[in-house]
Chains A and B, each alone.
Chain A
Amino acid sequence: MDNTSVIDLRNVRKTYKGRIEALRGIDLGVGAGEIFGLLGPNGAGKSTIVKIMMTVVRATAGGGTLLGKPLGDKGALARVGYLPEHHRFPPYLTGRQVVDFFGALAGMRRTERRLRTEAMLELVRMRDWADRRLGTYSKGMQQRVGLAASLVNDPRLVVLDEPTDGVDPVGRKEIRDLLLRLRSEGRTIFVNSHLLSEIEMVSDRVAIMVQGKVWAQGTIDDLTRSSRRFEITVRGAAPEWAASLGAVRVEPASSTIALQVADAVEAQPAIDRLRAHGAIIERAVPVRESLEDLFIRAVTDPSSGGTFNPGALRDRPSAPPPPLEAAP
């Protein structure tokens, strides 16, 4: 990954009719050659961001660049591949015709288009079905053809909105492998998904959106840094003074002490002290939040324990989510 900015959005706002604030000032940066995952609950504004980048929706305010060109630049769009959520291709076209059609719309010449169409159908393993009409395809097959159509123009940036939607587990793994392959070819991939585990598996960096704002963005390692701890599990009850080391969780036959330290080196004095007092240490492991924990924290109101209204806001904003640093 290099530091060239492929997507650079500045203070992007979108207010729909009815004064629904879908986006409330989005700043987002995606570097070249990385897989970037955009996360957020339903209605958080993820699709609106993608649609603004793809010129399907117009921003109310703010702007930015795509591949170094202002949003909407036709030359930049010719080098972008996009697969929307719930895409709908003409059912009377065959898979091959669909891929070729979107290649032509990207301005590709016929010879180049033919070669790329075959290569992309092969890549998504749809070549054997390429001459059948889309109306006869399953959801997963349509998704594969959609991927081929979004890649036919040899894009530098690939924007995928819920790419594994409707795809079986084997297909999902294939798509994950495809994303990694595209990254290895130097392409930038922007993935919008609900599936946290999949994002966690492939993304270099993520952003979490809540209520039309980016709550946090960075590498998963960076985002979970404040939640890092070292957990020591001792047999039976922990000594009373162990509470001064960190939070103690009592279990039926053991106790776990969560130390707020960054790594094992910093945990050694506590281990030594426990052993000196005769505690039997069953387990000592570094622990950090999963992406799912982080996500749940982003959408949970710490005062009530319930979730924030996750979606777009009408008229007045509700209480903001807690800051990223407020890790448990």
Chain B
Amino acid sequence: MSHDLPQGTSWRQTWAIVVAAYRELNARKLFWLSLLLSGIIVAAIAGLGLDEEGISVFGWTFESPFFNSTVVPSATFYKLLFTNLGVEWWLGLGSTVLALVSTAGIIPDLVSGGAIDMMLSRPIGRGRLFLTKWMTGLLFTSLQVFVFTGACFLVIGLRGGSWEPSLFVAVPLVVLFYSYLFAFCALVGLLTRSTVASLLLTMVFWFLVFGVQSGEALTNWGRTGSAMEIASYESEILRREAENPNDPYLEDLLEERDAQAEDDATWRLVHNCFMGVMAPLPKTGETLELLERLLVDRSGIQAPERERRGEGIFGSNRVRAREVRGEIDRQAVSRSLWWTIGTSLLFEVAVLVSCVWIFRRCDF
């Protein structure tokens, strides 16, 4: 910063850009539409309720032996609604699409002829100008998620009887999730200077990330199930060997275990490939799932008897799907924040550094 500039210039410039961005949001119909939809979803959540007999929807009770307040505590039910319906589906999908549509033009508009000239002719560094404009793109999501979380906080408090300030951890998590996508969107906007291209390519990128994450989840299911299946075989083989070393069934078990081991190698290979591809990419889904990990204690939920019995995987009844799911949940919990947020932030920082580098070298 030059010594010739009045003190506080940087702050005044940043604040002016943020205020202008807020005025832009106010002028956009999509912002208000998104808020309206948030209101409808909060009203829907508030309209649902659990009691000892079953589930109530806007006052009408539907009796259910499997889904009532004895199976799921009321506060947990609302928190699950908030994390799954509210955050993962609405904020993580519907509202995100609206936010992208609304903010994809921020960088192309910034670099368009006639607009960028007056900005760059002012005493503001290019890097700071770009990053400030990028951050204003997060304003849409920040306001949406803050209002939505605030409303859900009231609903859970009033209807579920549990006041949970920790709900507001959704604000940084959802903004973080959106920032991964918006960093990519900004890069495309800077390179193509086109709102449509940045919106569409960001959607494609998001879909690809989702595809890789789904592939990883699927192959992890296979890999985990396979490992558990082998462990089950080995446990039975050891047991039978101890009881009767000449057990005629042992040979079949060894063959089946070896066949499963071959499958296991394939599962591991494919899963490792997906992990390799996924490592440098932003963990969009996992970032949102962190919220449920942080907010919802599932220990109070009684699984229905049918699910407790469960069904086997790989055509056998050795390992039940529920056990595999439990193991995968344990893996998810054991995954470090560094893996989920750290690698995602590394991706985001790399993209933003590239953007700033390009923006500083561009002629307009």
Contacts and interface: CB of A to CB of B under 8 A. Distances in A.
Interface of A: 16, 51, 54-58, 73-78, 80, 82-90, 92-93, 97, 100-102, 104-110, 133, 149-150, 159
B120 A56 contact: yes
29 contacts: A51-B117, A51-B364, A55-B120, A56-B121, A57-B363, A57-B364, A73-B2, A74-B5, A75-B2, A75-B3, A75-B123, A77-B122, A80-B121, A87-B118, A88-B112, A89-B118, A90-B24, A93-B23, A101-B16, A102-B118, A105-B13, A106-B123, A107-B8, A107-B9, A107-B12, A109-B6, A149-B118, A150-B118, A159-B121
A104 B364 contact: no
Interface in B115-156: 115-125
Contact of B23 (A54, A56, A92, A106): A92
Contacts of A93: 20, 23
Nearest to B124: A105
B114 interface: yes
Nearest to A75: B4
Interface of B: 1-6, 8-9, 12-13, 15-17, 20, 23-24, 26-27, 112-125, 361, 363-364
B122 A105 contact: yes
Contact of B6 (A56, A83, A108): A108
A269 B49 CA distance: 113
B16 A78 contact: no
A56 B117 contact: yes
A101 B18 CA distance: 11
Contacts of B364: 51, 56-57
A17 to B, nearest CB: 9
Contacts of B27: 92, 133
A54 B27 CA distance: 30
B328 to A, nearest CB: 48
Nearest to B112: A88
Contacts of A83: 118
Contact of A74 (B1, B8, B17, B115): B1
A29 to B, nearest CB: 21
B23 A97 contact: yes
Q: Which 3 A-B pairs have the closest CB atoms?
A: A75-B4, A107-B9, A104-B16
A101 B24 CA distance: 13
A151 to B, nearest CB: 13
A97 B364 CA distance: 25
A320 B6 CA distance: 47
Contacts of B120: 54-56
B113 A86 contact: yes
A105 B119 contact: yes
A35 to B, nearest CB: 19
Nearest to B24: A92
B117 A84 contact: yes
A147 B122 CA distance: 15
A107 B113 CA distance: 23
A320 B114 CA distance: 32
A150 B16 CA distance: 16
A19 to B, nearest CB: 15
B115 A77 contact: no
